[in-house]
Structure 1
Amino acid sequence: MSVADQGSFDGFYLGTRVQLLRHLTLMTGDAEQAADVLQEAYARAWVRWDRVSVLESPAAWVRTVAWRVAISQHRRSIVASDRLRRFFAPALAVDEMPVRDEALDLWAALRLLTPEHRRALVLYEMCGLSIAQVAAETDVAEGTVKSRLARARAALVAVLGPGYLTVGVSERAAERRLV
């Protein structure tokens, strides 16, 4: 890898690590595991940087690889019940995450969702991806993404109450819901 490529990767890493760590922590439900799988995904991106750097969204590639690593880890550990409990244990994503009652309530509610529903919701609502982008990243049909989002929202409404969708929601996210 050339010095220019190394600089390009360094800039990519520094520019995406905090946000991707937040995404993966919310998706996995475990801050420690999110950090581990993200480190693995960045290592894989480093090795393939000549190919990854020219993708439309290298961050999506890293997030997808990290998610797949997390799923592989989960499948290997399903036999050990202690490890399974740790996988779904509560923890805050990173120090910068706000610690308000609302954030803690949302965090607890997200943990109640299935991993697939939580992942779709995080990618769409928190990462700002479109339905098509979520479908591509999760390797499912757009209709499946819409179904997962609807079920995730319904589950959150059941836990948090109907007002959660409008409190503190960005205008962009609110506009997307109307479409």
Structure 2
Amino acid sequence: MKCFSVVFFTVLLTAVTGGSKIKNLKNDIATLEGAFSSVLEETESAIANMTARIDKMEAERVKLDQAHAWQALHMAAAAACRGSTATGGSGPWGNAVIAKENTRSCTAVCGDTVFNLCDADISVSGYIGKAQSYSQRLGHFFNYGCGTPGNTNEKFDEVKAGGDDVFKNIDTGNWYYRFCCCRKA
């Protein structure tokens, strides 16, 4: 009987301690699940933050690309003005390239600025991409003369254009942009 009591007491003690271990394991599992959930939330938040930063950087890159494209167009217009004037530009001051309003002559546009004399009314356009041959058309130009509005198509007016219109061509809605070549008297 004494032997039975010892065995019974051992089984009882094992059951109690084993139950405690199971309870501890369940608590540990609940703690780990909570920690994993917290890490998952932090990771998802970090990913969302990084995605937002990448989207912002992409938007800034697009804006900078547009600014550079407009600058390249303005430099092309300055070169076209330089080549379109009889003297190549003259006077004691630097000459100016002014965006041409589609319904006005360059005489009027230049006249409204300190660069009040018109030398030319030019329009330029260029295709995107590198030349692939020596016969490929890369761009277009025209000199309308100072006295008339010339082609009054609103799509040729940079001030009225959208920011990304600089990337458009004849197939996508734009072709030329027009500029007045002005100088001071």
Instruction: Pick 1 or 2: higher relative contact order, CA cutoff 8 A, min separation 6.
Output: 2
Instruction: Name the one with the larger helix percent.
Output: 1
Instruction: Name the one with the larger strand percent.
Output: 2
CA radius of gyration, larger in: 2
TM-score between both structures, scaled by the size of structure 2: 0.24
TM-score between both structures, scaled by the size of structure 1: 0.25
